[in-house]
Amino acid sequence: MRCLRWFTSFLVVMTTLSLGACTAERTAVAPSEVRISWRAVGLPSDPRGRDVVRATAACGDHWYAAGAILAPDGGTSPALWVSTDFTSFTSVPVQAVSVYGPSNVLYGLACRGADVAAVGAKNGGAHGNPRTSTWLRRDDGPLREVPAGFELFGGPNAGFVGQLSAGPGGYLIVGARIDAHGGPGAAVWQSADGSTFTLVDSDPALESDARGATEVHGGVVTSHGYVSVGGITPVGSRFAARDPVAWRSSDARTWQRVPLPHSAADDVMLQVVPVGDSLLAVGSDGGRFRVWTADASGARWQTGPTFGGAGDSATVPTVSSLAVIGSTVYAVVANSATYEMWRGGTTGPWERVTLPIAVPSAPVTSGPRVVSATASGGAMMLATDDGRHAAVWFGHAA
């Protein structure tokens, strides 16, 4: 059950309908929400099939969307698009090297200066497990698959490979592996430049132990080092209620566990992002979403405000992305019927923000439903998916 919950929390799956070259203006008008004017921007049409968008990233004036091309027969091909003008996207050439590389679906994306890295996977093999690859684009070149041994991401101890983050010190992937105790535990993969990743899954601070089972959901790379966030299910915990946990490291090889204040409810940190000289994390705390803040090193955390209403029993609480404009954080969350966007900071109440369309949060047979956001400067890019159709949008706060 926990593996399913982890998988649902981590894997951002977006299926995008190609929008062609047209654009459209749409502004939501709910009077009680912060209004943003959103404009839909089409991805290039592809004769192989329709666009599937699962991840977004932005660095400077480069806006990236990644995913796949979905053929009518269900086959997939990895895809990356880039925009520099808010009005159109260009397809980036993709070069695969492994057996499963040509059919990867890119679901994790992060950029650092002119470079962009991605994580992708395709189910295959005798057991149908994900065959995971990392990808790297330098400057304006093609997106190339990075050769890797099978057991770096798979093998007998495989758990799952989650999201990717980037910063001054390199790249960090969070996920899970079967640890020395025979159960799933937190794990990370680190790379200085995206060309080679190193698995760290036997660090005592990350591993599950006599205190409980660990899980890591989000990570960030700053000038101070690496910070990951997640939770621990204490041994003997009633109803398997988790407590929030953060980890910090100077090199991503040796980690320090940082316990946080917790409640009797199921509270867990799901995403983290730098905000100026501090860090802000968002997760779930019982029936609402909770904010935590820390200094840039991640050594000292404080509990912040809550926002959002109570969820329902059919939806796993999700924080799919955090985007930062100035000192304001925009959080895309779901724990009820539809995805929502909220904005706020370290103190004070958080406000609901308009989305260009309503996206139900429960999965459907035609595909998962996800909303993801990224920001650069004063602008934001949003990808929405209702399970059948998707779109990419640009917006500015009113």
Q: Which residue has the higher pLDDT, 246 or 260?
A: 246
Domain of residue 196, CATH code: 2.130.10
Token output for 175: 């996920």
* pLDDT, tens digit (0-9, with 9 covering 90-100), for 160-177: 999 999 999 999 999 999
For 86, the domain range is 2-18+49-317+345-353
pLDDT of residue 312: 62
Q: Which residue has the higher pLDDT, 183 or 50?
A: 50
Order of all β-strands in the sheet with 105-112: 94-95, 143-146, 129-137, 115-124, 105-112
pLDDT of residue 22: 33
Residue 339 lies in a domain: no
Token output for 292: 């935590």
Q: How far apart are CA 132 and CA 182, in angstroms?
A: 22
Residue 324 lies in a domain: no
- Place 33 in a pLDDT band, splitting at 50, 70 and 90: confident
Into how many domains does the chain fold? 1
DSSP class of residue 345 equals -
- B/e letters for 146-167, b = 16+ CB within 10 Å, e = fewer, are bebeeebbbeebbbbbbbbbbb
pLDDT surpasses 80 at 16: no
Lowest mean pLDDT among 21-30, 119-128, 294-303: 21-30
What is the phi/psi pair of residue 71, to 5°? -80, 160
Neighbouring C-alpha atoms within 13 Å toward the C-beta of 126: 1
Token output for 193: 């430049």
Q: How far apart are CA 155 and CA 159, in angstroms?
A: 9
Residue pair 228/212 in contact (Cβ under 8 Å)? The answer is: no
Q: Which residue has the higher pLDDT, 285 or 240?
A: 285
Which residues are within 8 A (CB) of 375 and not within 5 positions of it... i.e. 6 or more apart? 58, 323, 324, 325, 330, 381
pLDDT surpasses 70 at 92: yes
Q: From 176, 62, 52, select the one nearest 110 (Cα to Cα).
A: 62
Residue 381 lies in a domain: no
Residue 95 lies in a domain: yes
Mean residue pLDDT of the chain comes to 86
pLDDT of residue 195: 95
Concatenating the DSSP letter of every residue in 13-40 gives -------TT-EEEEE---TTSB-EEEEE
Q: From 174, 158, 154, 156, select the one nearest 166 (Cα to Cα).
A: 174
Calculate Rg over the CA atoms of the chain: 19
pLDDT of residue 314: 60
pLDDT surpasses 60 at 348: yes
pLDDT of residue 384: 81
Q: How far apart are CA 209 and CA 231, in angstroms?
A: 13
Residue 28 lies in a domain: no
Residue 376 lies in a domain: no
Token output for 379: 């602008």
Q: Which residue has the higher pLDDT, 210 or 4?
A: 210
Pseudo-torsion of CA 364, 318, 79, 88, nearest 10°?
100
pLDDT of residue 197: 97
pLDDT of residue 335: 78
pLDDT surpasses 70 at 11: no
Residue 387 lies in a domain: no
- Place 311 in a pLDDT band, splitting at 50, 70 and 90: low
pLDDT of residue 367: 61
Residue pair 106/79 in contact (Cβ under 8 Å)? The answer is: yes
Angstrom distances, CA of residue 37 to CA of 20, 25, 61, 331: 21, 7, 19, 17
* pLDDT, tens digit (0-9, with 9 covering 90-100), for 42-59: 999 999 998 888 999 999
pLDDT of residue 310: 62
pLDDT surpasses 90 at 189: yes
Instruction: Label residue 185 exposed, middle or buried (CB < 10 Å: 0-12, 13-18, 19+).
Output: buried
**Arithmetic mean of pLDDT, 21-42:** 62
Contacts 24+ apart (CB under 8 A), 324-331: 324/273, 324/274, 324/275, 324/375, 325/375, 325/377, 325/378, 325/379, 325/380, 325/397, 326/378, 327/275, 327/276, 329/273, 329/275, 329/280, 329/282, 330/373, 330/375, 330/380, 331/271, 331/282, 331/289
Under DSSP, is residue 349 helix (H, G, I), strand (E, B) or coil? coil
Q: At residue 227, what is the residue type?
A: V
**Arithmetic mean of pLDDT, 235-260:** 92
Q: Return the top range by mean pLDDT from 125-129, 180-184, 321-325.
A: 321-325
pLDDT surpasses 90 at 391: no
Angstrom distances, CA of residue 63 to CA of 111, 123, 213: 9, 28, 37
CB atoms within 10 A of CB 308: 22
Above pLDDT 90, what percent of the chain?
66
Token output for 219: 């990570």
Residue 9 lies in a domain: yes
Pseudo-torsion of CA 251, 200, 278, 270, nearest 10°?
170
